[in-house]
Chain A
Amino acid sequence: MRHKKIKKWLSDQCDGELSLRKKKILETHLERCSSCSSYARALEKIAEEASKIKLPEAPQSYWQDFSSRLKARVSSIPGKKRKAEGLFPGWKWALATAASLFILGFGLFLYLAHNKKIAQDDYFFSFENSFSPIREEIGEDSELEDVFNSILLASIDESLESERMNMYLEFQGNAFFWEDFSEEEIRVPWAEIEKETKL
């Protein structure tokens, strides 16, 4: 592990990136370790050879040609680009505005759709004359009339019963309803309510 670290430090040293403290540790280690010293010599040799490598050098005429070619290419761009920018100076703003308008429109659509639904919910179906066809069916038959009336009364009673239950539940949990009553006064209706609820 230590040798691995030392080899890494040797690489850093080649690039002049090793701190003084590490340099001292490195020197001490190299004095004792032949393997790391050999590696250090190999790196020195590589660095030496790398510094000798000469990349191809282009003549001065090449650079003049390079500049003129580049300038010609660059000159062909800006006219169109700048003009386009002038026409649409804030295309990002335009895009943002379009997005905002879309969101507003969509929001409005949702609002209207919701209101329409509420309006539909508020609509009550009229039962007017809905019994007349049944009445016609019953006609003069008293037996059928009795059955019909009993069903009708039962359904009315059922509906009243559920409303009554709701009413109980509403005032039962309402603290304001009970606040003017004494404990004695509360005990009686409370027992009644419990009895009713159990039923």
Chain B
Amino acid sequence: MGRPGDDRLVEQAKQGDVEAFAELARRFQQMIQRAILALTGNLQDADDLAQETFMQAYKTLKDFKQQARFSTWLYRIAINLTLNFLKKKKKERMKQTLDESLPLEFNSDILVDSPEKDSLARELSERLKEAVDSLPIPYRASFVLVVYQGMTHGEAAQILRCSENTVSWRMHKARKMLQAKLRPYLREKQHETQKD
């Protein structure tokens, strides 16, 4: 017997079938958590927010009209919660001026299969992570969904509740900001590749 489709599981979950909802959560938990993690950069926060996303999804499941895909709807909840969380965190950080210059850091304890790379590449990678983290929240959200999650502008627009053009502009501005922040380093890298 084949796996039941998402729509069928949604219908069952709407009738109060906890097992059906648990199956939906199993299907999308990694995808949702990765998107949140890319935005927050902290596994503990991502875990809390992912749990909250599914809880909110379960509570409001009867309002889900199934006009969009379940995953899109779920993403929307996750991104809304995460953006609100980040806004709150930003306010708190602005109060604690000491911590302001510190970027959000990944929890290195849970890293699995971290590849050994040359120090230069690692440095650029770290700088890029920092630069992405420092992007204004709407730009960061668009960048994470399009670049890290591989979504089209249309898909990201549906989740962020804006137009495709807005996503396109945000991506353009985000890239310009990243390029400006990484300019000295990118130039160095380009010279190196030219020498090679």
Contact = CB atoms under 8 A, between A and B. Distances in A.
Interface string A102-118: 00000000000000000
Contacts, number: 118
A45 B190 contact: yes
Contacts of A55: 34, 37-38, 106, 148
Given A45-B186, A55-B148, A66-B51, A11 B175 contact: yes
Contacts of B168: 8, 11-12, 15, 17
A149 to B, nearest CB: 86
Contacts of A82: 16
B124 interface: yes
Interface stretch (A68-76, A119-127, A179-187): A68-76
Contacts of B68: none
A173 to B, nearest CB: 64
A49 to B, nearest CB: 5
A57 B113 CA distance: 8
A58 B106 CA distance: 12
Interface residues of B, number: 52
B18 A58 contact: no
B172 A77 contact: no
B86 interface: no
A30 interface: no
Contact of A70 (B22, B115, B121): B22
A74 B125 CA distance: 39
B54 A7 contact: no
B12 interface: no
A46 B58 contact: no
B153 A46 contact: no
Nearest to B115: A54
A52 interface: yes
A54 B114 contact: yes
A46 B34 contact: no
Contacts of B21: 74
A56 interface: yes
Interface in B148-196: 148, 152-153, 168-169, 171-172, 175-176, 178-179, 182-183, 186, 189-190
A43 interface: yes
Nearest to B169: A8
Given A15-B146, A55-B106, A82-B16, A70 B25 contact: yes
A78 B22 contact: no
A167 to B, nearest CB: 71
A57 B112 contact: yes
Contacts of B113: 54, 57
Contacts of B34: 55
Nearest to B15: A82
Nearest to B168: A12
A53 interface: yes
Contact of B51 (A14, A50, A63, A73): A73
Given A39-B179, A55-B106, 7 more contacts: A17-B152, A42-B186, A49-B128, A57-B112, A71-B18, A74-B58, A82-B16
Return the 6 tightest CB-CB contacts between A and B, nearest first: A11-B172, A57-B112, A8-B172, A71-B22, A42-B179, A49-B128
13 contacts: A12-B172, A42-B182, A42-B190, A43-B175, A46-B179, A46-B182, A50-B147, A52-B121, A55-B38, A58-B33, A67-B29, A70-B51, A77-B58
Interface of B: 16, 18, 21-22, 25-26, 29-30, 33-34, 37-38, 43, 47, 50-51, 54-55, 58-59, 106-107, 110-115, 121, 124-125, 128-129, 132, 146-148, 152-153, 168-169, 171-172, 175-176, 178-179, 182-183, 186, 189-190
